[in-house]
Structure 1
Amino acid sequence: MDEELGELGVLKQVEGIMLGNGVVGILAESVNKWERRAPLTPSHCARLLHGGTGVSRIIVQPSTKRIHHDALYEEVGAEISQDLSQCGLILGIKQPKLEMILPDRAYAFFSHTHKAQKENMPLLDKILAERASLFDYELIVGDNGKRLLAFGKFAGRVGMVDFLRGLGQRFLSLGYSTPFLSLGSSYMYPSLAAAKAAVISVGEEIATQGLPLGICPLVFVFTGTGNVCSGAQEIFKLLPHTFVDPSRLSDLHRMDTNQTRHASKRAFQVYGCVVTAQDMVEPKDPTKVFDKADYYAHPEHYNPTFHEKIAPYASVIVNCMYWEKRFPQLLTYKQTQDLMIQGCPLVGIADITYDPITNSYHDDMDGNGVICLAVDILPTEFAKEASQHFGNILSQFVVNLASATDITKLPAHLRRACIAHRGVLTSLYDYIPRMRSSDSEEASENSENSLSNKRKYNISVSLSGHLFDQFLINEALDIIEAAGGTFHLVNCHVGQSAKAVSFSELEVGADDRSVLDQIIDSLTAIAKPTENDRFSNQDSSKISLKLGKVEENGIEMESDSKKKAAVLILGAGRVCQPAAEMLSSFGRPSSSEWYKTLFEDDFECQTDLEVTVGSLYLKDAEQIVEGIPNVNGIQLDVMDQESMCKYISQVDVVISLLPPSCHIIVANACIKLKKHLVTASYVDSSMSMLDDKAKDAGITILGEMGLDPGIDHMMAMKMINQAHLRNGKVKSFISYCGGLPSPEAANNPLAYKFSWSPAGAIRSGRNPATYKWGGETVHIDGNDLYDSATRLRLPELPAFALECLPNRNSLLYGDLYGIASEASTFFRGTLRYEGTLYKCFYYFSG
């Protein structure tokens, strides 16, 4: 990373007023009257000032509109002053006015400059002129390329509440009274919880009184699968609802022809439908199928279909996708006019009213048209929760930034987020000047000159993906120049949101064919990670590459790049089939809700995934894969080393769903063949001993991370860290877990719900246990574990009769938690309903 920083060098204090002097400033937001958020709340300031973090002072510019009053900051020890000249680090949310930039200071806010956005270049120029440093929140990302600091789902939540309110007003102007009319805008509620309670109340009224038949079926179409869409759906799902597949929308409306028969069913709920790019366009070539990588690289090869397949059946369009001019429009003015003339049920696209028939806008809800929601900074409507969420993460980074005197020693995610240092762009962002001088209009004007100065060998290269937020554009340009080639930026479109991909079309040339081949191979390597980093660094390599035709004395050759991966599943138990079904959907479009929730749509349709299920008995494997596309079943005995290694060598990752005792055999083979391994079991001592070997082989071995260990560890560390931040010490740690079904579902002799082998659940009762209680270490032999169970009663739940037994070696976690030396009691236990442990012992011993 030191080389990437280039001229960054070591950050020095100048006259005691530079990054590292421990004095933090908080700007008064000036972007518009609605911005009430704060980068740090008073509680965050209290922890920073009194938690031994290195922050000595916090100076807050006064603001009468900030969600937290100035007095609250003063109460925790912060200072209120317009003058931030003593601050080495100054924080904001949105970009400040130019006159607020002080010389030789470090700033952190959403600058919107790293993609060379024209409207914010004056701000960047001011930063450079004042020899200031700039850290951009949007660029603080983890090793997997995911943003670490953002406002999450708040935009979607706020937008949906606001739109439902507008929907009620619009329906009233059309002559329909609906429960939506009782909703207010998000900013009218004191909290997110209060807003949700209001939406739930609306849902209860719909469920009991129904919606007017004249507006049914009420269909909400959501575009996208990111955080905004997830937040919008979170609010939508508070209403009585049913989600339908895009292909079923027409069926839903055909069913409506007999309103009398179906009215009672449909009038008491609303419908949701999630659509992605594949539902909005189709290839112009009828012989081809939709390919997302190709669509991003060459959208001109696709025709829009949203206005034909989706929009005619939508009452509401909740657009959560980024759009730029090179892509087909979701709906054109003409298409919207045609839909309204045809009687389309469209009521809203999401503060003003648009009449597509007359192509005019209104600022009220009367007349014809559809309502359109267009709010710039939605998260600020829930300013309190949004600030708390944001500050929880930012305060961790402030600890580093406020005390750093050497920027090269900052964590990598903060070093990468530094756009400029002391008036100089850092090397990661030296593409910005190139971007500023190479917009699409200039490229078009200069294209003839470029063509006339072609090298002997030339090729068109289209790059799409996270080119700028993952710095892949730098890597691509450096590859071309380092090899001795030249490039001309023919076209470039930069995505304007965290999830949006960017696109660059280059004309690459060289006077030697071997040089051009070297460039092509190196660029292809960006799109196709090596075996060792394909899975560990997949998110940071989200790039699609399209190579045009190489011009070589009139001879053309076409190249392309597409990822291909293979997975081997070992075992044929209950969890094997859903695992195979999930993996099979990776290489094809999916409308499943779980798929869209777990995986970003950038991965969809980019990978051909081959899945093989191996079982000791061929019949079991074939039964598992029956009806699942792209999945094959084979007979495989893991005790047959030659056969097992043969199949493992042909795949990229192995998923072992075998009994835990078999994992070590598979793991050793994966290390030998350098293949990644995933298991559905906890990591035991034998697997832990393979850590160094796996690292040397460059592979990942991933065990279960659900509960114990998993969620309980995260919750424990959160509480322990909070205590330590307040200079506290943990004297006693007691943790309980257990698979307790609700009483009415505890309908088997063991009063337990099994998601795994019942024999395995009972056999776990033979595990020995060790814990510390009152400073004394206690050991329980495995044969005596059930006998050691004690009664447990919860005052808050007096009707629950529970038993607790110690859970394996608790002392291991004292070291992991960092409290072994301070906690005199450390106990981790498992809960069961009273009397069931005796039954477990009876069944096991019997």
Structure 2
Amino acid sequence: MFARLVSARAAGASMRPRSFRYYSAAARPVIGVRRETKHKWERRTPVLPEHVEQLKKDGIEVIVQPSNNRIVGDERYRQAGATISEDLSKADVIVGIKEVELAGLIPNKSYLYFSHTHKGQSYNMGMLKDVLDKKIRLMDYELITNDKGQRQVMFGTFAGYSGMLDGLHALGLRLLGKGYGTPFLNVGMAHTYPTLQHAKDTLRDLGKIIEQDGLPQSFGPMVVVFTGTGNVSRGAQEVFQCLPHEYVKPSELQQLVESKTWSNKKIYATVVDVADHCVRKDAPDAVFDFAHYLANPDQYKSVFADKIAPYATMLVTGHYWDTPFPRLLTTEQAKRLYPTWKKNNRMITIADISCDIRGGLEFMSHAAKIDDPWFMYDPLTGSEHKDPDGEGVQIMSVDILPSELPLESSKYFGDKLLPYLKQMAKQEFEAPVLKRATIAADGALEPRHAWLEGKLPSAITAAGEVKSPAAASAKRVVVLGSGFVAGPLVDYLLRDPHVHITLASNNVAEATALAATRDTSRIHVAEIEVSPTTVNDHLKSVLSTGDVIVSLVPATLHVPIAKECIARGKHMVTASYISKDMASLHADAQQAGVTIMNEVGLDPGIDHLTAKQFIDEVHAHGGQIEGFVSWCGGLPAPENSGNPLGYKFSWSPRGVLLAALNSAIYRMDGKEVTIPSERLLLSARDVNIYKGFALEGLPNRDSLSYIDQYELNRDHLKTMFRGTLRYKGYSHLVFQFRLLGLLATDALTGIDRAQAAELSWPALLGRLLSVKNPTRDTLEPAIALRTGLLPTSPDLRDLLDAMSWLGMFDQSATAFPAGSIASAATGPAALDATCARLQSMLVYEEGERDMVAMHHEFTVRTRAGKSAQHTATLITYGDPVPTGATAMAKTVGIPAAIAAEMLLQGKMTRRGVLAPMHRDIYEPMLNVLTKEGVQFVEKARDL
């Protein structure tokens, strides 16, 4: 029935004039080439300098966004005749590889990229709606086909090349884990080779070793099973064929393995097509009818588990799979077969080039990273780990494999694309190939994609009315707070077209501005006031509308909100630490069947997820953690740290400064150390993560409380330390501020809010330092006296210079600007003024960016008694202001959003007041964060 409906947008498609033009008024057509921003490993480009030269010959201008990561540098493009510019607004057509973030889509342009929308992929429906709202022509590489429906521009072959190399690399490590050194140990990941030819030459050299020495006899015939017959499979086989090999039919595998005639000086291979493993349920012996299979997939089953899987040493997947069709291997089949695989040394490694998560291989749970390309899956327990010596099947599952051969894949891709680029530049969008590639134009979906209307955040009924696509299944989230981290959280949640958000804030202008740039049909703004002790009736009514409440307000306000959530049966998410008062609500939350999920931001948050995953893996293999040190900090990028504190605010300054008032306790080298609040800032130490960073660190609160939460053995644990990172000099300067009273939280005596509004900064300093006529000349001696610094001390000069830079001696500088006093229940405090001043001065200017640094150090003793140090380091940068979100906003907001999503989807079933310390919570969160680009660099060394 739906296929016969014509949506308002789709109907518009047939009424567009054929002469409609998506280009500027410039005399020459212009093509823009985007910088790739989705993933650090994405170094490919659809247009190389040699293609720029050819386009220029045809009178086509090219603008290229600058990139430090693209496989070809900006200067090469400039030499080829391209203009290097951040601004692509002059381009008629804009091309890239991966999806464009919503903020980056320019209205009324023509875009070409892998949009991942034409199958109705839910995670990109928000982007598709934005395309329609901005009247963008969207074309997709996957839809550039010839008249026979064959794709013309693709990377599949290069996925096969890289996937085979990465798979052989993984196989070498797995065989070593089983005690066998083989030539596969000398196969590198695809990105380690300068060219594909170099990789092939290496394999041919290794093949000579195999022909001479053979492979381990105990592994029987080494059999590689390829699935699929398309470009992916052919690319993988092209690489494989550099090794000594022999092909057999799938039907011959059993005879080969059970015979005594095979040779260990070559590798056997077979190619499995759908006809080789899919049979009709009612007539297994019937001749395979592909047309019938496509029309009736539910009438078929796969016999791969019994006919092919028992004989494979390595499985290389290159086939296409979709939901209605039989899986290659189910989780239950893998569990049943694993004892036989283990006994016979079969199914050692899977190179899942197709990388269909929970797809053709039901147990393949997540895409791996190029710098961490495989994991172990134990079919008997359903668990995953990273020990190549341990139980299970090794799975290589990188999903951006062509990125490992960026130059050659870009060359191949660009050569294929060039004729179509010329057509697009000349506005020949009605040409058959470009017409087939178009998903949307002029605010309307193309007729053959009209069904996607029902997948959009708002759907069109037969009567032409707009209604929610999930009226019966809408999921409602109340987000309390609209500040620094709200944007990425809201954007993530809105990817699900069923989610509706109430953005509740005491700053309506801020919340309205945030909502206005997003899908306003699914965001409602509500004005609220939050008290540290009570929840008023209006806020209660707002909370009642949500299925999940996400609290981004200051941590001191969480507890009354949590009590109200428990009373109303609402789940709640915060990124804050679990306070004693919050922990006391655990039993009540459990009894109410409510989850109060805390500590799911950056720190606390991502630090817990990654630390707990590593610790649990060590324990699972009989090892012990003898030391754990974790550092984390949100900082300006080094090039943007040029101020006295070396700091800028990408989140609440109050939270930053209050952290300097905490006491701390930790264990170091077997001794417990307590740092009182007044000594915290004096305890800073140098932290050497990378030589390029001048970092210092402070202990962070109670590190010892995490010994039990991380399930560490106190008898073995010598060091337990969690700390906060800053650039050198920060702690000493803030300590001086504290001595001056600038961090005091008590209300100033004898001054009300109205009087505070008239107080200048020198006047405030005068009150704090008992100076009657405060000017710089009279304040400086008092500052020296209060801090104990000699008048000739360089430290005093640095302090005075910093205060001057911050405007604290400026008679015209207001100490308490409007909105700076934290609570209506108290009078003005010096901390309010300091927060307001720092927030106004230490801001990110246009083009600047922030940085998040996290670093774990684990000291491990293995079951065999060996000691090693493992490190995991995350350095991630925000988008340049004002083009996107800060690194801090992303790394706090997105984990919180993932936790909220898990609660909405029923994937988080534990109840009570929780932190993310359980595998069923941290593992799925980490899997999603990996896809979001949160990636650690891991290293290890023996001690």
- Give the TM-score, by structure 1 length: 0.48
